[in-house]
Amino acid sequence: MNTPVPQRRRLPRAAILLAVALVSAGAAPAALASPAKPEQAGRLKILVPLSTAAVPLLLLADEDPVAGLDIQVETFLQHAQALALLARGDADLLCTGTSQGWESRLGGSPVVIVGTGVWGVSSLVGRDASIATVADLEGRRIALPFPGAPLDVQTRYLLVRAGLDPDRDVQISYGAFTQSLPRLLAGQLDAAALPEPQATTAVRDRGLVRLFRYADAWAAASGKGSASPQVSLFAMADWAGEHPRTLVALVAAWRQAATKVAADPVGTAARYAAALSVDAALLAEALGNTLFEVPTFAQNAARVRAYYREVLTFLPGEHVPLDDGFFFAP
């Protein structure tokens, strides 16, 4: 089921545009349309990250709840390669960070957001338990994935709302999660932002402290609840336009799977711990620190737009609104 590819790195917008231009002409739909039933004709391939966000989709692949549709899931580590696979038709859907999807769209990619399934998935971990709020980060050294990453954008928003200047009052360094953890353990950092299950792994296996969950910090800073769009499902616009009934059926099944996972993290963890290369107890805790929900298409569009407007000034590049075509609407 799982076929890893190299570690994820950010793809510049220009490279996204070039990649799509090179491969989209050769993309082919994965299924033929039928006027009498959903367009699926056998297989649906979904690329997912090695994170708790993938678990509801792994459940779909195991149970195949949509009649006539064989759902296949493969993992990835590198967003750029996963996007290229999606663009040339080697995959039908891509599950990745919401902000990475909209950056691809703003960079010229004909990608569309089908829905969002995870609304909180990260924590700030460190060694000093006295860091309990964002304001406590003043003068501290923190690690984030890369400039413009979802956690970079949200962290900068949170720092400003706490009265801190991200470029003056804290020391931000960037690097992959695998690089941040050794530096944190060596005392070269005070805190690092990690998604699940890496955050729980750092706490349970490496003796670090979960300083705060980003969902809780977001709720306190924004006053709009703990949920913010973190991980979404994307398709290429042409493919989505040719398979609307397939996507409607899939999203309905995904919604049910996300509800099952949220309701039974222990049972789900026992089933999928091996797939994420962690033990079941650790995965159960990580799932408990992940906010799963799959809203309706209209609700998703409204909530993603609202979040985008909220963090717009912290995004890299030109600050332009998301176009209507970015949101799949059956």
Instruction: Point out the residues of the chain with pLDDT beneath 50.
Output: 1-36
* pLDDT for res 128: 95
Q: Cite the beta strand spans of the chain per DSSP E.
A: 42-49, 69-76, 93-97, 111-118, 122-126, 141-144, 171-174, 191-195, 209-213, 231-236
Q: 13-120+228-326 and 123-222: same fold?
A: yes
Look at the alpha carbons of 30, 32, 33, 39 in this order and tell me if their dihedral is positive or negative: negative
Summarised one tens digit per residue, pLDDT across range 18-64 is 333 333 333 333 333 333 355 655 799 999 999 999 999 999 999 99
* pLDDT for res 81: 87
Summarised one tens digit per residue, pLDDT across range 140-191 is 999 999 888 889 999 999 999 999 999 999 999 999 888 999 999 999 999 9
* pLDDT for res 39: 63
User: Can you identify the CATH homologous superfamily of domain 13-120+228-326?
Assistant: Periplasmic binding protein-like II (3.40.190.10)
- Looking at domain 123-222, its CATH class is alpha beta
* pLDDT for res 8: 32
* pLDDT for res 38: 52
Q: Give which of 151, 126, 153 is closest to 137, Cα–Cα.
A: 126
* pLDDT for res 61: 97
Domain boundaries, the chain: 13-120+228-326, 123-222
